[in-house]
Structure 1
Amino acid sequence: MLRPVSLTLGCLVLTLAVGQAWAQENSNTLPPSELLPETSVDGEVWIYYWDGIDGVAVDDLRSASGFPDSPDDLNTINQLSQLSNRGDSYGVLIPGYLIPPATGQYTFYVAGDDETELWLSTSNQPSDKRLIASVPGWTGSSEFNKYSAQRSVSIDLEAGNRYYFELLFKEAGGDDHFTAAWEGPGFGRQVIPGSALASYAAGSASDDRSAEEAYRLGYSVGYLDGSENLAFVPGYPPTDSDGDGLYDNWEVVHGLNPNDSSDAVSDPDGDLLSAAEEFLLGTAENNPDSDSDGIPDGTEFAVGLDPLTASDASGDLDGDGATNLDEYIAGTDLSDETSTPAPDQAPDSELPLTAGFVGQYFNGIRFDDFVLARRDSAVLFDAGTGAMVEELPVDNFSVRWVGRFTAPHSSGTRDYNFTTRTDDGTRLYIDGQRVISAWIDQGATRYTATTALEPGQTVDLVMEYYEKGGAAVAQLFITDSNGTDVPQAETITSPDQASSSTIDSDSDGIPDTWELRYGLNPYADDASAVNNTSDVTNLEAYQSAISPWTLETVGSPPNSSTGGGANTSPPPASGSATLTWTAPSTREDGSAIALSEIDSYDILYGTSPDALNQTVSIAGAETSAEITGLESGTWYFAIRVIDTEGLVSEPSDVISYSVP
């Protein structure tokens, strides 16, 4: 989660947050066992010092040649604080156990001069630790509110359980101190006392899996090695080089790094299950739909279906008469009998179709400036360092291809593999679900998603691509479960953008064919988005028969009451508001976020707090924006942030502003 960001409008302030997993680190920060106490002692923790280390950053300590094996000094303390000045150019590591006095929610705080980090495990195992709070610069001795990263999220802890923790601290020069505090059930903020601490001892953290969990883990390991013809390594627990809870061989088979603990919380296949969850469930990390039943693993697990049993797709979990697969495709709740798919808006026969994709081409790597839409028979481009199409530059452009794939087989259920190969970023959506997400600068790289289809079944495809620099490669390959290439020319169709139709797949008030013609996405509700400098929304542009990008007249919308006599000019401007904000420096888990990781901000506004139906996108490097074209009256504003991985926050609290 991103930490709150302040947005100011006059004298008003609002905050926002973006969802993201806790940061996780390799567990090899402990001193060798001969330097640890033999037994754990309640009421104290050991503190290890490394001297003669320059720099203010905890990473300077981590990279020191003597860390963690050769500390220069050690001592014990009976509370999680050191306030006396010890010296300059040194670093500290404190490992230990935290023992909560009561069950409930706890919030942690750190202060320090200089950088300070507090890590807490979800168990008594160092391998499960996460960064929960940090000082990215320096603070006073009891200053807990200088940086948002100093405060953790609320964390549920159980009374009497032992939770492994680490505190790391780095001093450069001048004053030196650190303090870790907490607040919890029945007490306010206080320094973490000795009564809640115990020392970490050599061999004291035994594996705490139950017999059933150990059996399942052993079975999973043995099955994996056998099915992949890998050499089984005996012993328990299984080999786990980075201490992230994932068997090394499993990580290799599924494209993860057995020496990188952070990938345990990653989700490369985008099925809403982390790698650690997939390992325990037995699902595949590189396949979002392990049983190929058309429902992603994470969706099945969330509602209580089995992501390894294909037959449950044809079941009816909530008894509302619609199959689980039909509900998933329609976007309704599989477990709620009152949430059922609506009847089809209109049969496909009413939507004029032509062979191939509609390709929408844009300047800029974030679909910044629409250039043209055209018919592409297939997505098989490899332009080298030249231009992909003559209307675009050779670098810094993006493309969205929209089409429909119809399964060509005649009987039974068959798997189809959709493989993208791009240089640089790509995303692939099947029936509105993102199944490939690699929106990063990269050389030509392949990603594959698999889905099971019935004979003649049709699914919507949207492939997005951007080219940053160097070679321009954008390719889509389709194969069936037999490895046979499926020709796009025979299986891909798309709405005829040149025709008029009232079909509106995303129910945003703008017909599909109009959206395709003018650079919008017919399968995403983008009616309130703004793609021009005059704050005219896409829906307003359609209703006024003007381009949503240039505001030039483009022809009347079909069946529009405004007809050809519609106002083709943007709404008159009568006021403006200037908003400013501070870029977030941390995520909610306390881990740092660089400015380069912030892609953009969306400012949402409107004349009702319940209908912020206008949007302005602001580049991630900016911290202010002027909203113009505001008519007299009260306007309401909120903000959300988007990072470079595509994570989008919920809108912040709404503030108001009156335009004279």
Structure 2
Amino acid sequence: MSISKVLGLGSAVILITGCQSWQFRDIERLPPTAAIPQESEPGKVDVWYFDGISGETVDSLTSAAAYPDSPSEITELNQLENLQNRANNYGTLIRGYIEAPQTGEYTFYVAGDDETQFWLSESENPDLANQIATTGRATAIGDYTRYSSQTSPSMYLETGRRYYFELRHKEGGWDDHFSVAWEGPGTSRQVVSGDYLHSYAQQTPAAEKELTPEEAYETGYRVGFFDAEQGLAFTPDYPPLDADGDGLYDNWEVVYGLSPVDPADANSDQDNDLLNALDEFWSGTDPTNSDTDGDGLPDGYEFAYGLNPRDPSDATVDLDGDGYSVLEEYQAGTDPTDPADTPVQEPEYTGGFVGQYFSGTGFDEFLYTQKDPTIQFNWGSGSPSPDIPNNNFSIRWQGWFVPPHTDGIQSYQLTTRTDDGVRLFVNGELVIDQWKNQSATSYSNELSVGPDERVAITMEYYEAGWDASAAFSVTDQQTGTELDASTVIESLDLTTSPEISSLGDGITDIYKLRYGLPLLQPTADLVLNNEGVTVLEAYQSGLHPYTLETVSEPDAPITETAPTEPATSTVTLNWTAPGTRVDGSSISLSEISHYEINYGQSTDSLDQEVRVEADDTSYTLEGLAQGTWYFTIRVVDTDGLTSQASDTVEVQVQ
């Protein structure tokens, strides 16, 4: 479509072509200063041209004597775009109002040749307009991305409200054009059309506007309630006192420090909660308190999401059903109406290890998880809980060593002592590998770290038969002091659900800890059930990786209470090393390999055994259940010969 028209105006010839709908206004018939119309009209804006001004910047326009009251020509546009070459050395000013089709965040874009600026107010008040986008220099037609300054910040606009705007444009030579586009809720990027434009006009005071019966009733109610609340004498006058015609009741303005004779303060925001004074009056909120109901949510935030800024209970509402309250979403900066936009929970650590308990010596059947402040266990012939068999069970403890020193590199000794097998991993590297049946035996590994190095510690243990014990300790090599593991080892709080993954395999650490998986070993492709479902598939489906039972969410907290250990006690045995053999020949201490203690709760079944090294002649058995216990001891020499058992000793354990 093309429209061409040649218009004569003195010596000027203006050629207008293009797809816009234009109207020419003979400015010689207008009163001085181009008389701003009394009433605003929808669907169009007035375009004021200032001819004979050199330069390419908007500053050269705004500093001209003719600006802004003496334009050379006024025409009309039904959209914020002019793509035609009008002339050289002129400036453009468009003033009007824009109204959003839906409430929400809008972004504006400008393009132009030469410099083009877009100004926007937070209301109909021109005095509050700020520049939000500019080309800075010339751009091609429709090119909104050449300079970052062409894009505005997000602007929150409410449907039903008009916002004052200005477009300022300056042309030097050669081509000239300008356009303003926007995008927002339900609106893809497009030039702002006349459907959302109103021409600029002299404002009609709000007090002179006729109120609907509903508005009149609401205004009267608010005024009466306010006077009573503030202890003021009721004023029956109607309409309510509003000397400056800004829509605000005079008494209300006085109480909140505003001026009843200054209409501009209706647009003020004293408490920076994104509600102006007029909004606060109608919503019944305090314009000097950003959080009227004290629920942690700013009044403007509550208003924007349809909540009541005078009701503190709605802060706990979950608007999008993602499990997080509006207050939690506000504090995290996420969208409370978008279930896909959820807060990222920061990890919380507490002292000690997380222990994962299994039946079987190879982590065969996962039973439960519990927090163990330290690893210092001696179950004797028993087990950690009634849910675990006395023999053939395994445990994996996981945590992080946090060095207590504050400067330099320092060495620590990590020591395990177990009956039976043990493996110790440091940052995923196997440093102790004694996965075998054995009596209580100690193994150590030295670790040198800086003060800020958190070190992943994993201790794996199994019990095959007879005695069961497991211990882990950390010793400061500089002082020889054994440290309290509960103060230097930490692990994730099992009641939280942070979305961190130490291995980066798409499975969170908290899920692994709760459901019997190692943190630093690949498990995503493992199948731990009879249905062929991998660990990763189970996690993504919110299932237990072993049982495939549905959990409330992939990271649902485990609620099992740590099992209660049965009442136990200790017995200490002492003996003297033998000086002769059965045949009467002498035996030196160097010929003794070790001692074997057998014990049980029946003389016919001394089925538990402890090995004691040759240089010890005392041993303490811990974790014995109450009742009668029987003990014998044998000597084993370096050739493997074993003496007869000693006489049985009976001990009553209380």
Q: What TM-score range do you get, normalising by the shorter chain?
A: 0.3 to 0.5
Structure whose alpha-carbon radius of gyration is higher: 2
Higher relative contact order (CA 8 A, sep 6+): 1
What TM-score comes out, normalization by structure 2 length? 0.35
What TM-score comes out, normalization by structure 1 length? 0.35
